[in-house]
Structure 1
Amino acid sequence: MSIRIGNLPPLSAFIALEAVVRRMSFTLASRELKVTQAAVSQQVRALEDYLRAELIVRERPRIRPTEEALVIANAVRAGIDGIEAAVNSVRHRPEPNRISVASTTAFSSYWLMPRLTRFFGEYPELEVNLLSKDLDIRDSMSGFDIGIVYTNQSRPGFQATRLFGEEVVAVCSGPYKAAHPEMQTAVDLLGVHLLHFDSEEPETDWPGWFTALGIDTRTLTPGGVRSALERGAHFDSYILATQAAVEGQGVVLGWRRLIESMLRRGDLVRAVPEAVVPANGYDVILPSRLTDDPAVKSFRTWLAREAAEDW
C-alpha cells in the first residue's frame, strides 16, 4: 500500500531518495530498505518526473545528488528524526532489569563481549540483550536502550557521550610481515596484498587512509599504485577481513581499539608505523528519556570505566 500526503508522491519515494543521498549509492540504499535496486531507482525516477527536475546525476560508477535532492533529503531526514524522537520519548522499557544494547558485530565481538563477564560480576541483577546492527545504527535508532556507534554526529532526542576515539592502522600477521621486510612506511604497502573492508568511513578504506596520510593516489597512473589499490580481496564484514589478515592473506586496516587484544596476543602486528586518527569515534547513545534510568545508567557508567582502564 502506498501512503500519500495530499497530492504528493508516495512517502516511500521520499524515503528512497533520502537513503540514496545519505548512502551515496542505490545499492546500499536498496539493502537498507530491503527492496531491489530497481525499485529504489524507480521511486527516485518517479520523484524526478513529479518535480520535473533531476535529483540524482548518474556518473558511473558514482552518483551525485543535485541541490534539489539535498533540500528534499534533508527535509525527509528531519521528519524521520522528529518521529523517532517522539516515539522514544513515550516508549517505556518493559523489563527494568533487562538492557538492550546495539552495536556492530565487530564492536560487540572484539571489544564488548570479552568484557561483559566483568559487568555481570558487578551487576548480577541485570541482564543484557546484544543486538547486532551492521547497518549504521544512526539510521535506525529504535528497539534498543543503549547504542554504541562510530560517529561524529548528534540526533534529536538522543544523548551522546564519547566512549573513545580511534586510530586506524595497517596490520597483518607476524609471518606475513616477516616475509615482506620491504614494508617500512605506508607507501611500501602499495607493493603488497591489501585486504579491503568495504566501509563508508573515508579514513577506513585504503584510498581514504592514504589520502589522510598525504599520499595523493588520484594523480597516479593506471597500472601503478592505483591498480595496487584496486587489487586484493574485498569483504563486507570487518570480522572476515580481520581474520584474513590473521591467516596471513595480506594487510588490512584495523581499528586499533577493537583489535588491541589481537595485537597484544601477537595474532596481528603493525605492518608500518603510520596511523590515521579520524574525527569520528565511538559514542554511547541513548534516548534522552533514559538518561536517569538506573539500569541504563549503570551500564553506561561501566562502559566508561572499561574504556578508561583499557587504554
Structure 2
Amino acid sequence: MKLSHLNALRALEAVLRTGGFRTAAEELGVTTAAIGQQIRGLEAFVGRNLFIRSPGGVHPTDQALRLRNRLTYGFWMVHEVLEELRDVHSSNRIGITLPESFAENWFTKRISEFYRLNSEVDLRLNASNRRVDLVAEGFDFAIRYSPPPEDEFACVDLFGDHVLPLCTPGLAEKYGLSESNSTLDGVPLVHLDNRTPDPQWPDWQSWRLAFGVDPGDISSGVRYSRISSGLQAAVSGQGLVLCGITEAYDSVVSGQLIMPFGPDKRMTTEYRYRLLWLKDRNLGALQRSFRDWITGLAHSFNDCVTELLRG
C-alpha cells in the first residue's frame, strides 16, 4: 500500500474536525499558510477541489465532509499503534467524554475515589457538550444526558434528574420565599439558555404554570448559556435559578443553596444520564472496573437524591 501526501491528509483531517484552517494550524503547530499549501497540494494530487473558496470564506465540499469521520478514525488508529510501539500501557488508559457542566459539578468531585482504588489509571476526560463520535474519536465511554441510545451502544442507566428552583438562604429570606409563599414577583431570576433538548426540561414559564405560581415579570433577570455559570450565579446570591438537582446536589447538601419552595415543586425530566460504550468494543479489566464503579456510585447517588427530595 502506497501512502502519499500523508501530511496533507493530516492537515485535511484537522481542518474538517476543528472547523477552520487557523485552528488546524494551531493544533498541528504550523502556520495557516502551510495548512493552505498542503490542502492545495492534495487537491492537485486528487484532481478536484476539497474546499469552496468565496469572498465569504472557505468551506469544505460535501465530498470532503463525507470523509471526515473516516479520516479522524484512521489517524486515531495510527496514534494508538504509535502509543503501543512506545510501550505506553494503553490498557491503563480510559477515555471518557461527558457533558461540560456534569463534569464540573458532579463527576470531577467524585472521581478521586476511583483513582484511590485504581492508582495506575490514565484517565482522559473530554468535557464537552459536543456529541462525540465514539467510533471516530476513540473514547471508551460517553456519559450522556439523553433518550435511550442507538442499537450500536451498550448502556448503563445511571439516573434521571429533577428540576426545581434553588437560591441562597439569604436571598430566600430577603424576598420572602417559602413553601407557603410561592411567588416570583420581584424576585431576581437566573435564566439558563441552551440547556438541553429534553422536552420535559422546564423554563420559568412552564414551571410556574405547572405549580400555579404567581409569575411576576419572569422575563427579567440575568441569562447564562452555561449551566455552571448560572449555578454559580445562584450560589453567589445573584438570583433564583431553575436547575437540575444532579448538578446542584453538592451545593444543596453543603447549605450554599436551598429549595425555597420545597422539594415537591419539582419537575422530573424525560432524559436520563447514561453510560454508553460501543457493543463491539471489548472492554479491558480497568474499563470494566470503571463501569462497575460508576454504576455502584450512581445507585448510591440515587438513594441520596431520593432522601434529599423526601424532605
Which bracket does the TM-score occupy, shorter chain normalised?
Answer: 0.5 to 0.7
Question: Contact (CA 8 Å) 2:99, 2:129: kept in 1 or not?
Answer: yes
Give the number of the structure whose alpha-carbon radius of gyration is greater.
Answer: 2
Q: How does 1:135-150 map to 2 (within 5 A)?
A: 135-137=130-132, 142-150=137-145
1:287 aligns with: 278
Match in the other structure for 1:246: 235
Q: 2:114 aligns with which of 114, 119, 141?
A: 119
Return the match for 1:200 from 192, 196, 199.
Answer: 196
Tell me: CA distance 1:208–1:179, structure 2 relative to 1, closer, same or farther (3 Å): closer
Partner of 2:51: none
Code of the residue aligned with 1:240 in structure 2: it is S
Conserved 8 A contact 2:97-2:128:
yes
CA distance in 2, matches of 1:141, 1:270: 42
CA distance in 1, matches of 2:153, 2:182: 41
- Alignment match of 1:298 (pick from 272, 289, 295): 289
1:309 to 293, 300, 309: 300
Q: Provide the residue aligned with 1:21 in structure 2.
A: none
Aligned to 2:99: 104
More displaced stretch, 274-283 vs 135-144: 135-144
Deviation, structure 1 residue 143: 3.8
Deviation, structure 1 residue 271:
2.2
CA distance in 1, matches of 2:277, 2:156: 9
RMSD (Å), alpha carbons: 3.9
Deviations 1:129-149 (A, max 9, x none): 111112345899734211111
Instruction: Kindly indicate whether the alpha-carbon contact (under 8 Å) linking 1:197 and 1:235 is maintained by their aligned counterparts in 2.
Output: yes
| Partner residue in 1 for 2:207 | 210
Separation of aligned partners in 2, 1:170 and 1:125: 41
Task: Provide the residue aligned with 2:179 in structure 1.
Answer: 184
Partner of 1:157: 152
CA contact (8 A) 1:251 1:271 kept: no
The answer on whether the counterparts of 1:170 and 1:270 sit within 8 Å (CA) in structure 2 is: yes
What's the CA shift for 1:156?
A: 3.8
Retained in 1: the 8 A contact 2:200–2:270?
Answer: no
Identity %: 20
Q: Give the count of matched residue pairs.
A: 231
User: Using the alignment, how far apart are the partners of 2:135 and 2:167 within structure 1?
Assistant: 34
Does residue 1:262 correspond to 2:251, yes or no?
A: yes
Structure-1 residue corresponding to 2:21: none
Which structure 1 segments of 5+ residues have no match? Answer: 1-11, 13-38, 44-78, 217-223
Asked if the contact 2:166/2:259 (under 8 Å) is kept, the reply is: yes
SS in 2 for 1:283: strand
Distance in 1 of aligned mates of 2:95 and 2:283: 16
Distance 2:207 2:133 in 1: 27
